[in-house]
């Protein structure tokens, strides 16, 4: 097995690391300049977690099978009542039941 690195891949990984670092440090520097965070900016920052979760889960929901949809629905419903990790476990359990016992 050849473990040598392709120079193009190495440069792409380094560029991605630099871009990630720049956006993270840039956000900190930008927020640090404010003495108080304006209400509109605070509202936008509060909306980020929901937007990120939507971009992660929506494609799987719409392209996945019935097992994925059932798992997500169960996870969501359980998470409304119990802590997040219990919702995740319930969704995982539903996916396993759907796949192995129901054959979905």
Of 11-25, 29-43, 62-76, which gets the smallest average pLDDT? 29-43
CA–CA distance, 77 with 71 (Å, rounded to integer): 10
CA–CA distance, 85 with 91 (Å, rounded to integer): 10
In this predicted structure, the answer to whether residue 1 has a pLDDT above a threshold of 80 is no
**pLDDT, mean of residues 2-28:** 88
Query: Nearest CA to 71 among 49, 97, 103?
Result: 97
The number of residues in the chain equals 104
**Domain residue spans in the chain?**
49-104
CA–CA distance, 5 with 11 (Å, rounded to integer): 10
CA–CA distance, 19 with 86 (Å, rounded to integer): 35
Task: State the DSSP code for 82.
Answer: S
Model confidence, pTM: 0.57
**pLDDT, mean of residues 37-43:** 87
**pLDDT, mean of residues 56-61:** 90
Instruction: For the chain, give the percent of residues with pLDDT over 90.
Output: 51
């Amino acid at each position: 097995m050849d473990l040598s690195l392709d120079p193009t891949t190495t440069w792409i990984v380094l560029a991605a690391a630099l871009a990630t670092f720049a956006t993270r440090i840039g956000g900190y520097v930008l927020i640090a300049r404010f003495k108080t965070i304006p209400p509109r900016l605070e509202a936008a920052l509060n909306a980020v977690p929901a937007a990120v979760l939507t971009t992660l889960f929506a494609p799987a929901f719409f392209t996945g099978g019935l097992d994925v949809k059932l798992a997500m629905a169960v996870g969501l419903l359980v998470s409304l009542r119990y802590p997040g990790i219990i919702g995740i476990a319930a969704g995982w359990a539903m996916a396993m039941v759907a796949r192995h016992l129901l054959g979905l």
